[in-house]
């Protein structure tokens, strides 16, 4: 199986985490930063760790960035360095570029420069935490785009024995139950004989407002 190669430019908290996780997956990762200490920390973890300036196109080329399939530009507070690095990586012909953005204006500029995906780590993590804090029954969720999410709900005691096909539970909230994780088993909600059990992990597909209403509905019944 073909393994994609990655370069992570900017090895602060965010960049070093991304680079280390990719390396743990067995992917070849090139790490780049101007800070010698940050580079040294990952020297034994990544395939290659280099001290270089993202604002210098030639330095990036010599480091091997142009040979990577994907580049993640994780430079944080230095807006100029972030933008110039994005331009340089684009000029080097890298196929896929992900860039960390500082704000919405920065996001728009990066999009104009040709970034394939713009990341807002703090904003995205903050939204994720707020969703789970708002509804303690929500264990986790994944955004699918266009407003749709798949949510992992902990089935409360008041729904023990209920059928996923019960329209009062889901259809009335315009939600679709996908399945249940019970211990280490996945159970399809398409079976008419299947009933929910207290503590099940229920996977639901729907839009955020409907999922929020469902969470409120469950709290009102508790």
pLDDT tens profile 77-117 = 899 999 999 999 999 999 999 999 988 899 999 999 999 99
A 10 A CB-CB count for 44 gives 7
Mean pLDDT, range 22-50, rounded to an integer: 96
Q: Which fold has domain 6-119?
A: Rossmann fold (3.40.50)
**Of 32, 60, 62, which is closest to residue 46 (Cα–Cα)?**
32
Domain 124-221 has CATH 3.40.640.10: no
What pLDDT is stored for residue 187 in this prediction? 86
Chain region(s) in the chain for CATH 3.30.70.1450:
124-221
Chain region(s) in the chain for CATH 3.40.50.720:
6-119
What pLDDT is stored for residue 123 in this prediction? 76
Give the pairing of strands 176-182 and 185-188.
Answer: antiparallel
What pLDDT is stored for residue 37 in this prediction? 96
Residues belonging to the chain: 222
Q: How far apart are CA 138 and CA 154, in angstroms?
A: 6
Mean pLDDT, range 176-202, rounded to an integer: 86
pTM for the model: 0.71
């Amino acid at each position: 199986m073909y393994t994609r190669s990655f370069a992570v430019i900017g090895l602060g908290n965010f960049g070093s985490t991304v680079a280390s996780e990719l390396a743990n997956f067995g992917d070849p990762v090139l790490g780049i930063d101007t800070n010698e200490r940050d580079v040294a920390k990952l020297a034994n973890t990544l395939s290659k760790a280099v001290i270089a300036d993202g604002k210098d196109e030639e330095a990036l080329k010599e480091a091997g960035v142009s040979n990577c399939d994907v580049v993640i530009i994780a430079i944080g507070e230095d807006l100029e360095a972030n933008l110039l690095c994005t331009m340089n990586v684009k000029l080097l012909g890298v196929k896929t570029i992900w860039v960390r953005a500082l704000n919405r204006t920065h996001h728009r500029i990066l999009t104009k420069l040709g970034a394939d995906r713009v990341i807002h780590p703090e904003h995205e993590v903050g939204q994720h935490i707020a969703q789970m804090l708002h509804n303690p029954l929500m264990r986790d969720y994944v955004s699918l785009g266009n407003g749709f999410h798949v949510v992992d709900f902990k089935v409360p005691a008041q729904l023990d024995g209920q059928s996923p096909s019960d329209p009062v539970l889901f259809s009335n909230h315009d939600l679709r139950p996908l399945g249940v994780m019970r211990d280490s088993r996945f159970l399809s909600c398409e079976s008419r004989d299947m009933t929910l059990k207290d503590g099940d992990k229920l996977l639901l597909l729907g839009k955020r407002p409907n999922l929020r209403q469902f969470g409120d509905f469950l709290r009102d019944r508790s």
